[in-house]
Amino acid sequence: MSTAAAEVLLPSNTVMVLVSTAALLVGLVPSEANAAVVAARDESAYLHIGKDILRRNDLFSASWIMDVGHFRKIHTNEIHTVESGCFVPFSQFSAHVRMTRDWLEFTVEHMSKWWKTFNIFAHPTTMSTFIERIESFTSNSITTPGLHHTIAIVPFQAYHGNDREGQLFTSKMLSACIRSMTRYGIRRIVVVVASYEERKTYSRLLKPSLLQQSELVVFRVVHNVSTKYIPTNLPYGAIVGLQNAFVNDVDDWLGTENSWNSVFLTEPDTLLHIKPNVLPELIRRVEQDGWVLSPHRLQPIPHASDIHEDLPIVPNTTKHQVRAIDSYSTKCMDAGNDRPPNTCKNFWWLCGFLSGNRGNFDYLEPYGLMRLSHGIGVTMIVGSEHGRRCHLESEHTNSYPIMWEPKKLSVMNSDDRTFLWSRERFRPKSHHRFYIAGLPGSGTNFAFMQLFQKNCRHFGGWQPPYVGGKHKFITKNDSIGNDTKHAVLVVVKHPLTWITSMCRKSYFMKINNKSKCLPSPVSFNEWGHQFEFPDLVQVWMDYYSRFRNNASFPVEWVRYEDLLLHPEETTREYCRHPVRKVEVLTKASKSHRANETTRADALQKYTNLDTVLADFTLEQLNYVAQSISKHDSDLLSFFGYHLPGPSPTF
């Protein structure tokens, strides 16, 4: 193979345009072992032009994958607009074009419209949070083999000028784009730029680990890429440059291994998602059957669960709740060409951000909102920028985010709500009288009223007799005296829902950064003793570990969730005398009247997985899981709670 110069000179009189900032991936035939286990699916698993897809815009995602044979035949002289980099091959090879009926089998997250909607560069706090998400996504090292022999070519331009802030942000997003491809085994990525200065700048800024692998990421410069409507058409340069490389065996583009069989187009502000279980079939359809596959492009939208600033964005309300889904196990089945009406035409999804309709996001209700577990962690409309929809159908009863791996629960029926805890309840070891203890926000008032005030005769006392009362962080010196008839009944609530409660109302605890409640240092003074904790996770663990390991008196346990979900059975177990008819509280709390909650509200709040997860970013959920695993993972299982560590699949 010959080695050409790093830059490619294209004919100055050629008139061509391609998709804005796109990337090309080229893949080898999957291994025979993989191909052998792929069961051919009926074509009903795919959408066809003219039959299922009647609008050409529904095909557009600025991405596609096709075999090298088709790629080399693209009529580049017919590409006259940015979008026609997709539409020309779709028209040219229309009989071979497909999309997956399950959107999540082959889809992309297109991020630039998300941050442009509210101008992220004017909001440094949100930008910092988003960069943290990018870095978390990029740093995950889990890889699913499938496109192991794939080359990527990324036409590349900065998003926000040449200032340092724009350069840093652009390089972070490029790293995430690259990671979204390498996680499926891609081994070489060519970043196409228009100048040597850009090559120098972004070679320096790109994550060093990416550049240390000499065959993985390289920068190449192209010239004479002016087309009919675009003065610097880098996507055009990338396509023609790659075509020339195939013709001339150019090592600078193809690397030392030129055995690529398929080409994939995407954008550098776009994250690729492929379900691992269908990846072998998809690549076989492309390379053996000659299909041209276009991924679905999901539309992100600024939502208050992602952005904690006072901005005119989609509110985090019941009407606009975000469903956190496992994007590898959940299906999103195409809804066809029937789409809800809209008044904002082409940019319908921006309706609530425009003058005259600002703040009204009712048009999103027919779609719904979701957050992909294997994505960057921002809210997506369950649909495309052109208004086409899909319907979520989970293959499991519950969906879990990236850092969660569901343990085997005792019950997984469709109507079972015990998704974060086992059905097995605590039962008192002996029928003591009880004093109530527990963290603030854990439900001690609710437990006292349900058990003592309403149902149990001779239940016991209210607060333990030691100094500090029911919320005290006990030591071995704390005692209930020589009382052999009493035990301390400690109320415990799942750490996630407890953290949510404390972020709303922290009682006597001071959370240093209330706007970013987790992680944030926590401090408080308890009877002359100053407590300092790095975060609420450690507060929860320290408090309950003390009762489990240091108590000098009998301790019994009751979970808030059992009182809420199984009030009659739980109440009977803790009452010393038989209870003929259990009175179930209609209020979850009566002491803190400003925050009085009905039992129905509490059931919705604490037993709906989507509601629980809506209060956390993926980074925060990862943080909780890692913190518990690092310090005392046994404590969680002791209570029958589920918060497993990082998932083995990314």
Q: Is residue 248 within a helix (H) or strand (E), and if so which, with residue range?
A: helix 234-248
Question: 220 pairs with which residues across the strands?
Answer: 192
The single-letter code of the amino acid at 76 is T
Q: What percent of the chain has pLDDT over 90?
A: 18
Nearest Cα residue to 372 out of 86, 111, 602: 111
State phi, psi for 619 to the nearest 5 degrees: -65, -40
Residue 610's Cβ-count burial label (10 Å; 0-12, 13-18, 19+) is middle
Residue appearing with tokens 């149902």: 455
Separation CA 395–CA 377 (nearest Å): 21
52 secondary structure, DSSP code: T
Q: Which residue has the higher pLDDT, 45 or 24?
A: 45
SS3 296: strand
Residue appearing with tokens 């993985």: 216
The sheet carrying 296-298 orders its strands as: 270-274, 106-110, 296-298
Mean pLDDT of 10-38: 35
Separation CA 325–CA 615 (nearest Å): 14
The single-letter code of the amino acid at 624 is V
What does each C-alpha distance from 370 to 82, 196, 326, 425 come to in angstroms? Answer: 29, 40, 10, 32
What does each C-alpha distance from 502 to 317, 439, 509, 521, 617 come to in angstroms? Answer: 19, 10, 9, 13, 16
Separation CA 305–CA 293 (nearest Å): 33
Half-sphere exposure of 312 (CA within 13 A, CB side): 13
Structure confidence at residue 289 (pLDDT) = 93
Highest mean pLDDT among 96-100, 164-168, 560-564: 96-100
**How many C-beta atoms surround the C-beta of residue 488 within 10 A?**
27
Mean pLDDT of 391-404: 47
Separation CA 177–CA 299 (nearest Å): 16
pLDDT digits (tens, 9 = 90+) for 572-593: 777 765 555 666 655 544 444 4
Mean pLDDT of 202-217: 74
Distance of CA 75 to the CA centre of its chain: 38
Omega prior to 519 cis, within 30 of 0: yes
What does each C-alpha distance from 225 to 71, 152, 203, 245 come to in angstroms? Answer: 19, 19, 22, 16
Is a pLDDT exceeding 70 seen at residue 600? no
Is a pLDDT exceeding 80 seen at residue 423? no
Highest mean pLDDT among 40-44, 176-180, 355-359, 618-622: 176-180
Pairing of strands 217-223, 7-9: parallel
Q: Which residue has the higher pLDDT, 519 or 269?
A: 269
Give the mean pLDDT of the chain.
77
Structure confidence at residue 445 (pLDDT) = 79
For the record, the structure tokens of 601 come out as 């509200």
Nearest Cα residue to 128 out of 308, 303, 2: 308
The answer for residues whose C-beta is within 8 angstroms of residue 270's C-beta and 6 or more apart is 23, 62, 63, 108, 109, 110, 111, 177, 180, 297
Per the CB < 8 A criterion, the answer to whether 610 and 419 are in contact is no
pLDDT digits (tens, 9 = 90+) for 176-191: 999 999 898 888 888 8
Per the CB < 8 A criterion, the answer to whether 452 and 460 are in contact is yes
SS3 479: coil
The single-letter code of the amino acid at 416 is D
Structure confidence at residue 161 (pLDDT) = 60
Res. 249 pLDDT band, cuts 50 70 90: confident
pTM: 0.60
Per the CB < 8 A criterion, the answer to whether 428 and 559 are in contact is no
449 secondary structure, DSSP code: I
Structure confidence at residue 586 (pLDDT) = 56
Separation CA 90–CA 98 (nearest Å): 9
- Longest Cα–Cα distance of the chain, Å, equals 97
Is a pLDDT exceeding 80 seen at residue 560? yes
For the record, the structure tokens of 536 come out as 């609420």
CA 400, 402, 404, 406 dihedral sign is: positive
Mean pLDDT of 234-259: 87
pLDDT digits (tens, 9 = 90+) for 349-389: 888 888 777 888 989 999 999 999 888 889 999 999 989 99
Per the CB < 8 A criterion, the answer to whether 134 and 176 are in contact is yes
Nearest Cα residue to 469 out of 478, 458, 457, 477: 478
pLDDT digits (tens, 9 = 90+) for 189-207: 888 899 999 888 888 888 6
Q: Is residue 136 within a helix (H) or strand (E), and if so which, with residue range?
A: helix 124-139
Q: Where are the beta strands (DSSP E) in 136-227?
A: 151-155, 188-193, 217-223
Separation CA 258–CA 328 (nearest Å): 31
Structure confidence at residue 221 (pLDDT) = 93
Residue 11's Cβ-count burial label (10 Å; 0-12, 13-18, 19+) is exposed
Separation CA 17–CA 9 (nearest Å): 16
Structure confidence at residue 582 (pLDDT) = 60
For the record, the structure tokens of 411 come out as 């019950």
